[in-house]
Amino acid sequence: MSEPVAEPGPNHEPDACLVDHVDVDRKVASGGYKWTHRAPGWIPAFVAEHDLGPFPAMQARVREVVDLGGFGYHSTVDHMIEAFCGWSSRRHGWTPDPALVAPNASVLQGVWSCVEAFTQPTGAVVLTPPIYYPFYDIAESTGRRLVDWPLVRDDDGWHYDLDHLAHLLAGDPGIQMLLLCHPHNPTGRVLDVDQLARIAELATEHDVVIVSDEIHADFTYPDAVHVPLLTVPGAAACTATVTSGIKTFAMGGLRASVAAFGDEDLFARYRQVPEHLLGSPNRLGCEAAIAGWEQGDTWVDELVALFDRHRHHLVDRLADELPDLGIHLPQSTFLAWLDLSAFDPGDRPGHWLRDEVGLDCKDGPLFGPGGEGHARLTFGTSTAMLDEMIDRLVAVADSGTGPDAVDGEFR
Ligand SMILES: Cc1ncc(COP(=O)(O)O)c(C=O)c1O
């Protein structure tokens, strides 16, 4: 099965606006995990990374630093933090205090630093399954006990049950941390301000630190609003927010992120984690993040508008053409949480889709309770590629035929 030989994509002109196009050859040649970790012909929809980067000004800045040979120790961190605060203020109405923002290499490093800073080895951490599966590694790598606070499902998607959280916290004094994924990967659920205020109130009452992973916040669509937890009354004294530009600007390989606080004491506790565990960002990651956060507004507006159209298109086409597949409209993220149970996909539904129709999605069971029969699909791609993905999904109705039976342009 051979791949098409495509012309270089217009995306890569430094001055270009967002272009709704994926140049497969270029993606493969650039060596990213998403586009190389696959057999020819598979469409990769398993990584939570969109295909429409790089943001041209970011690429230009990184190229400039490379041309200058700027590879030594660096001092761009403060500038990156300023750029982050400016972006948060413009995009989300939250102006963090730069003195209470710490840099690190990745959001997961920030999460693990918080586990170290805010929990005892015998303490417990609450997760919200079905949930971004690396969070489950906390148990094995730190020995902390995990407590599930599962989202509940109805016809409108997945929801938080705050009474259940109150019950869990009241019954388990070992709980020391609540790890929120806000907005939620994989369901795309967004917590509103009243829910956030109630969560902060419960955390304060039970002396629990909330770690709010807000990495997907920029992709919140018009029917919801992303409320940064640190803007919610009562949250500052119990919240650490971890985030970065890597989802927005598809720059996961560049390693630069931040942990932000609204309270000096909590920040001081975080800073007690040894410096080399807290980590530090890569120079090129800082430069890329600065370019994105300072210059990316228009490009990101276009990107979010495109993915807003994508989520409707995906849900509408599947409702018409494959009504047995369960899907809801995500309020945020470029991820769709597909319920394939009607097709009996076994215990690896993502692999099943890959093997049946050449669409490589993430296995739902990895995400814990609520993941059975599900697969996570990344719709952060071009319109043409999305239609090819949907064609393949629709073909599962004739599953058993294998990917060769799917007629598509991508291969
Ligand atoms: C919710 C969430 N947090 C963290 C990450 C990973 O971020 P990093 O690579 O900076 O650790 C991802 C990536 O998919 C994610 O979806």
pLDDT for res 155:
87
Q: Which H or E run includes 284?
A: helix 283-295
pLDDT of residue 1: 35
Contacts of 408 (CB under 8 A, 6+ apart): 388, 391, 392
Of 91, 73, 122, 121, residue with least CA distance to 286: 73
| Cα 81 to Cα 289: distance, rounded to the nearest angstrom | 9
Pocket of ligand 1 (CB under 6 A): 48, 106-108, 132, 181, 185, 213, 215, 244, 246, 252, 257
| pLDDT tens, N- to C-terminus, the chain (411 residues) | 334 333 344 444 444 589 999 999 999 999 999 999 998 899 999 999 999 999 999 999 999 999 999 999 999 999 999 999 999 999 999 999 999 999 999 999 999 999 999 999 999 999 999 999 999 999 999 999 999 999 999 988 999 999 999 999 999 999 999 999 999 999 999 999 999 999 999 999 999 999 999 999 999 999 999 999 999 999 999 999 999 999 999 999 999 999 999 999 999 999 999 999 999 999 999 999 999 999 999 999 999 999 999 999 999 999 999 999 999 999 999 999 999 999 999 999 999 999 999 999 999 999 999 999 999 999 999 999 999 999 999 999 887 655 554 555 444
CA distance to 119, 190, 239, per residue, from 196 (Å): 22, 10, 11
Query: What is the pLDDT at residue 7?
Result: 39
Ligand 1 centre and the CA of 216: distance in Å?
Answer: 9
Pocket test for ligand 1, best of 33, 109, 112, 132 (most atoms within 8 A of CB): 132
In terms of DSSP H, where are the helices of 74-161? 77-92, 107-118, 137-142
| Cα–Cα separations (whole angstroms), residue 398 to 357, 378, 406 | 9, 22, 10
The whole-model pTM stands at 0.94
Q: Which residue has the tokens 């102006």?
A: 95
Ligand 1 centroid to Cα of residue 324, in Å, is 31
Q: Which atom of ligand 1 is nearest to the CA of 333?
A: 16
Ligand 1 atom with least separation from CA of 257: 10
Question: First vs last Cα of the chain: how many Å apart?
Answer: 7
Contact 302, 17 (CB under 8 A): yes
Whole-angstrom CA distances from 49 to 251, 273, 380 are 9, 30, 7
Q: H-type helices in 24-106, by residue range?
A: 24-30, 33-36, 56-68, 77-92
> Ligand 1 centre from 378 Cα, in Å?
14
Cβ-contact 197, 227 below 8 angstroms = no
Domain spans of the chain? 10-55+297-405, 70-295
Which atom of ligand 1 sits closest to the CA of residue 181?
1
Q: What is the pLDDT of residue 344?
A: 95
What DSSP character marks residue 4?
A: P
Pocket test for ligand 1, best of 50, 246, 333 (most atoms within 8 A of CB): 246
Query: What is the CATH code for 10-55+297-405?
Result: 3.90.1150.10
- The CATH architecture annotation of domain 70-295 reads 3-Layer(aba) Sandwich (3.40)
Length of the chain: 411
- CA–CA separation, 186 vs 111, rounded Å? 18
Cα 107 to ligand 1 centre (Å): 6
Pocket test for ligand 1, best of 108, 182, 376 (most atoms within 8 A of CB): 108
Question: For residue 66, which phi and psi values (nearest 5 degrees)?
Answer: -65, -45
Q: What is the pLDDT of residues 40-86, one digit of tens each?
A: 899 999 999 999 999 999 999 999 999 999 999 999 999 999 999 99
Closest by alpha carbon to 177, among 238, 103, 104, 109? 238
